[in-house]
Amino acid sequence: MPILQRIVRMQRRVNQLFETIIDKLAKKQLEQASRQYELQYDKPLSAQEVIEIKKGVVLRVGFFGFIPVVILLLTLMNGGVGG
Protein backbone atom coordinates (compact mmCIF):
# COMPACT_ATOMS: atom_id res chain seq x y z
CA MET A 1 0.00 0.00 0.00
CA PRO A 2 1.49 3.35 -0.97
CA ILE A 3 2.45 5.75 1.78
CA LEU A 4 -0.02 8.40 0.61
CA GLN A 5 -2.97 6.04 1.10
CA ARG A 6 -1.78 5.29 4.63
CA ILE A 7 -1.48 8.99 5.38
CA VAL A 8 -4.99 9.63 4.06
CA ARG A 9 -6.41 6.82 6.18
CA MET A 10 -4.60 8.07 9.26
CA GLN A 11 -5.82 11.60 8.63
CA ARG A 12 -9.41 10.38 8.31
CA ARG A 13 -9.13 8.48 11.60
CA VAL A 14 -7.70 11.53 13.36
CA ASN A 15 -10.46 13.74 11.92
CA GLN A 16 -13.13 11.30 13.09
CA LEU A 17 -11.53 11.15 16.54
CA PHE A 18 -11.53 14.94 16.84
CA GLU A 19 -15.12 15.17 15.62
CA THR A 20 -16.17 12.60 18.21
CA ILE A 21 -14.36 14.45 20.99
CA ILE A 22 -15.85 17.80 19.97
CA ASP A 23 -19.34 16.28 19.75
CA LYS A 24 -19.01 14.84 23.25
CA LEU A 25 -17.73 18.12 24.67
CA ALA A 26 -20.43 20.19 22.97
CA LYS A 27 -23.34 17.81 23.57
CA LYS A 28 -24.72 19.56 26.66
CA GLN A 29 -24.43 23.05 25.20
CA LEU A 30 -25.99 21.95 21.92
CA GLU A 31 -28.95 20.47 23.76
CA GLN A 32 -29.45 23.63 25.82
CA ALA A 33 -29.13 25.94 22.84
CA SER A 34 -31.42 23.75 20.76
CA ARG A 35 -34.14 23.75 23.42
CA GLN A 36 -33.89 27.50 23.90
CA TYR A 37 -33.89 28.22 20.17
CA GLU A 38 -36.86 25.94 19.55
CA LEU A 39 -38.80 27.60 22.34
CA GLN A 40 -38.08 31.08 20.99
CA TYR A 41 -38.35 30.53 17.26
CA ASP A 42 -40.18 27.20 16.96
CA LYS A 43 -37.59 25.71 14.59
CA PRO A 44 -34.38 23.70 15.03
CA LEU A 45 -30.85 25.12 15.07
CA SER A 46 -29.26 25.62 11.69
CA ALA A 47 -26.00 23.90 10.76
CA GLN A 48 -24.14 27.22 11.00
CA GLU A 49 -25.36 27.80 14.56
CA VAL A 50 -24.27 24.28 15.55
CA ILE A 51 -20.81 24.98 14.12
CA GLU A 52 -20.62 28.26 16.06
CA ILE A 53 -21.48 26.45 19.31
CA LYS A 54 -18.84 23.79 18.63
CA LYS A 55 -16.30 26.50 17.79
CA GLY A 56 -16.98 28.17 21.13
CA VAL A 57 -16.51 24.89 22.98
CA VAL A 58 -13.21 24.19 21.20
CA LEU A 59 -11.93 27.68 21.96
CA ARG A 60 -12.94 27.42 25.61
CA VAL A 61 -11.31 24.00 26.05
CA GLY A 62 -8.22 25.22 24.23
CA PHE A 63 -8.04 28.30 26.39
CA PHE A 64 -8.46 26.47 29.69
CA GLY A 65 -6.27 23.53 28.64
CA PHE A 66 -3.50 25.07 26.57
CA ILE A 67 -2.79 28.33 28.42
CA PRO A 68 -2.09 26.69 31.82
CA VAL A 69 0.27 24.22 30.13
CA VAL A 70 2.17 27.06 28.47
CA ILE A 71 2.41 28.94 31.77
CA LEU A 72 3.63 25.79 33.51
CA LEU A 73 6.26 25.16 30.84
CA LEU A 74 7.47 28.76 30.95
CA THR A 75 7.65 28.62 34.74
CA LEU A 76 9.61 25.37 34.68
CA MET A 77 11.95 26.70 32.00
CA ASN A 78 12.55 29.87 33.97
CA GLY A 79 13.20 27.89 37.17
CA GLY A 80 15.59 25.59 35.33
CA VAL A 81 17.60 28.45 33.88
CA GLY A 82 17.68 30.60 37.01
CA GLY A 83 18.04 27.80 39.54
Segment 19-40 mean pLDDT? 92
Convert the pLDDT of each residue in 35-64 to its tens digit. Answer: 999 999 998 889 999 999 999 999 998 888
Evaluate if residue 1 carries a pLDDT over 70: no
* Residue 29 near residue 57, CB atoms below 8 Å: yes
> Cα angle at 46 between 31 and 42, to 5 degrees?
70
Amino acid occupying residue 80: G
